Amino acid sequence: MIRGIGINADHEYVDGQTSVLEGLLQKYKACGFDTVEISVPGLNAIRGGVLIESEARRVREILAAHGLNVTLHCPNNLSLIRNERHHQVMDAVLGLAAVLGARRVVYHSAQIALHAPYRHLAPLPSKDELREMWERETEALIAVGRRAADMGVILAVENRDPHQWEISALGMYGKPAAELAHYHQGMRLDLLVRQMEAVNLPNVGICLDVGHAFLAAPYWPDPDYLAAIRVCAPWVKHLHFHDNFGITDDMNESLGDRLVFGEADNHMPPGWGRIPLAAVLDILKAAGYDGLLVVELRPRYLPYLEEVIAETRRLIAKTWRDGG
């Protein structure tokens, strides 16, 4: 069951300006969205790993004034396998969730091992090092998940997408693009399922990003997109909904050029790209999905909000006949 339709507040667009956030909330409410997903870097509420409660309360008041529920998205580069500062930030994120009344926190999988090799700071990791990364994050997710459970919060681990710089990093070390998922295991839905099985907490699951998975599918051992969705569907606790063309970024860096060439994680309105979104919803329904659907849009598509929610409702109604 889809419990509500949410939409993201892009952190670069908000950029710490509560007036901009207020403007977005007014638009979202007027169009019929009931939830906003706020990315933590868009606020000034966490500074140097410390929660600033006065700022958090200010945001809470703004949310209350517009009658929208809230979910939180961790900083994209927050990694529970790095240093203590990252754990401090996660603690602050949970504190922010408590102040805002957020019942879902999204965290990007940290199973990506190519940043240091790309910068020539370290060689490609060995199998043992990759396994250690996996074990460290799994243990950390158990600890964070237990704290979140005490707060009544669901922790949703988001699958990641591929990038050209990662393929370039592999090429520097004589590795083909076909090995990308070996060094970027956060792209693989089946491996995230294994991790959730190891964590084994009812409030920790997967945030299925349909666009990330569509881009990642060609690099999986089995590139069958919908088959992978079926495997992970019972573990999905949160849903990120948007569209793209399934083409990894190439030479184009601007969002405008990427849209024209159909490259990368464009975060377009549903129906603009090639993702079989209706089939994804069918699979989630069959698996008993019971949660939110959060549309993730780039700010350039804000003029299309009414079209976005109409198409999203149509897709939901096609699957959940009561309209969700």
Percent of the chain with pLDDT over 90: 96
Nearest to 3 by CA among 97, 104, 152: 104
For residue 321, the model assigns a pLDDT of: 64
Q: What is the mean pLDDT of the chain?
A: 96
DSSP 266-279: --BPTTSSS--HHH
Token digits of residue 20: 């901009």
Angstrom distances, CA of residue 312 to CA of 238, 292, 319: 16, 12, 11
**CA distance linking residue 33 with residue 83, whole number of Å:** 37
Return the amino acid letter for 187. Answer: M
pLDDT digits (tens, 9 = 90+) for 169-226: 999 999 999 999 999 999 999 999 999 999 999 999 999 999 999 999 999 999 999 9
| Neighbour tally for 157: CB within 10 Å | 27
pLDDT digits (tens, 9 = 90+) for 107-118: 999 999 999 999
Could you tell me the mean pLDDT of each successive run of 10 residues in the chain, 324 residues long?
96 97 98 98 98 97 96 97 96 98 98 96 96 97 98 98 95 96 97 98 98 98 98 98 95 86 95 98 97 97 98 94 48
DSSP 8-state assignment for residue 323: -
Angstrom distances, CA of residue 272 to CA of 97, 247, 259, 278, 301: 33, 14, 10, 13, 11
CATH numbers and ranges of domains, the chain: 2-319 (3.20.20.150)
Nearest to 247 by CA among 286, 209, 206, 275: 275
